[in-house]
Amino acid sequence: MLPGLEAVLRTGVLHGNGEVGQRVERWMERTYGFRHVLLTTSGTHALELAMMLLDAKSGDEAILPSFTFVSTANAVLRAGLVPVFAEIDEETLNISPQDVAKRVTPKTRVIIPVHYGGVACDMDALGSIADEHKLAIVEDAAHAIGASYKGRMLGGIGAMGCLSFHDTKNVTCGEGGAFVTNDDRLAARAETIREKGTNRAQFLRGEVDKYTWVDIGSSFVISEILAALLEAQFAVIEEITKRRKTIYEFYLTNLRPLEQRGLLRLPVIPPYAQTNYHLFHILLPTEGIRNALMVHLRNAGIGAAFHYIPLHSSPFGKQFARGDLPVTDKVSRCLLRLPLYPDLTEAESSYIVEQIAEFFSKISRE
């Protein structure tokens, strides 16, 4: 058993906002330069908390990419905002600032950049749009723990940021997340909302003499058990990132010849971005080739997979669609994710590359 987890179990203090959770929050603040970190039960709940803090009026709009997980849009809707789906950049697969600018209306309240695969969005361009129209930026940094934009950690650039520690993320406690802000006022209210709308945290610190209901809220506090698991993960995050980088760069180097032949496209990391190597994708020329390669790899025992179905084309999301998003649609049809996790061996990585090369060799003969 992990020492930290065993210690938590011995104390019998299993609820949230305890010693271990606060220790993880302070570590993240020191390490990443965030002013305030509040651990949450999921990245989804971090987003919901951020949207609640906007105090949106009915009809207010949020601009977000269609190429994202449903949690981004659900948090918007649950706060009473209307999602406005924007196009993505064809190289980075992040939200396009040029398209965002076209979609701003008098009802726009917030821009939600999603840092796809741990690669930063163009935050300067988005920040200029936000400043011009007096909009908030809430970063969906679910993929992006430890990644940065021009030296600034993702999640800590906008008014608020939201991280995920889901089982699929670089650092995980199974289910978990974090709300980040550098704004003291937002942090104080977020602490209350996270504790079911009560002033429990202030009461425990001796700042108030009564523990009572003072605001809207929900139960977003992560348990000490999960915080202990998260602390153990953060203790080895450098090793995790180093191993992921090795695998990522192996794919880049060994798949480059196929890209040079025009058979696929590799991911692009702009000069302003330092990624955390969250995922590795390739883009195929057509949906048919993507699907055929996916089947070939699965038959070879390799778990390659596609990614998001664009929200604007989903059964529920169609009602919010405003025009076509051709880049988003094409990327969704042609993208394939390759296995990327710290325990992936060099032999396994080589086998994956060999199978991709074998697939293209096979179809060239047909």
Asked if residue 288 and residue 192 are part of one domain, the reply reads: no
pLDDT of the residue at 10:
62
Asked if residue 344 and residue 254 are part of one domain, the reply reads: yes
* Tokens, residue 112: 């939600």
Asked if residue 284 and residue 318 are part of one domain, the reply reads: yes
**Residue among 363, 238, 311 at smallest CA distance from 84:** 311
Asked if residue 336 and residue 293 are part of one domain, the reply reads: yes
Last residue of a domain, one of 184, 213, 234: 234
pLDDT of the residue at 136:
98
Asked if residue 292 and residue 210 are part of one domain, the reply reads: no
Handedness of CA 234, 235, 236, 237 (dihedral sign): positive
Asked if residue 10 and residue 35 are part of one domain, the reply reads: yes
Asked if residue 54 and residue 9 are part of one domain, the reply reads: yes
Q: Are 52 and 216 in contact (CB under 8 A)?
A: yes
Last residue of a domain, one of 217, 234, 251: 234
Asked if residue 253 and residue 171 are part of one domain, the reply reads: no
Overall number of domains in the chain: 2
Asked if residue 187 and residue 255 are part of one domain, the reply reads: no
C-alpha–C-alpha distance, residues 184 and 297, integer Å: 50
Last residue of a domain, one of 204, 234, 264: 234
What's at 64, amino acid-wise? L
**Residue among 212, 191, 237, 231 at smallest CA distance from 40:** 191
What residue has token string 């209307």?
A: 82
Asked if residue 304 and residue 159 are part of one domain, the reply reads: no
C-alpha–C-alpha distance, residues 176 and 80, integer Å: 24
Q: Are 65 and 85 in contact (CB under 8 A)?
A: yes
Question: Virtual CA dihedral for 305, 306, 307, 310, nearest 10 degrees?
Answer: -160
pLDDT of the residue at 37:
98
CATH of the domain at 219: 3.40.640.10
pTM over 0.85: yes
Asked if residue 249 and residue 211 are part of one domain, the reply reads: no
Range of the domain at 144: 3-234
CATH of the domain at 262: 3.90.1150.10
Asked if residue 112 and residue 56 are part of one domain, the reply reads: yes
Please, where are the H alpha helices in the chain? 3-11, 19-32, 43-53, 70-78, 97-103, 123-133, 184-194, 200-204, 224-234, 237-260, 287-299, 326-334, 346-365
Tens digit of each residue's pLDDT, the chain (366 residues): 566 766 655 665 656 678 999 999 999 999 999 999 999 999 999 999 999 999 999 899 999 999 999 999 999 999 999 999 999 999 999 999 999 999 999 999 999 999 999 999 999 999 999 999 999 999 999 999 999 999 999 999 999 999 999 999 999 999 999 999 999 999 999 999 999 999 988 888 888 988 899 999 999 999 999 999 999 999 999 999 999 999 999 999 999 999 999 999 999 999 999 999 999 999 999 999 999 999 999 999 999 999 999 999 999 999 999 989 999 999 999 999 999 999 999 999 999 999 999 999 988 776
- Phi (first) and psi of residue 95, to 5 degrees: -55, 140
Strand order from edge to edge, sheet including 148-149: 152-153, 148-149, 273-274
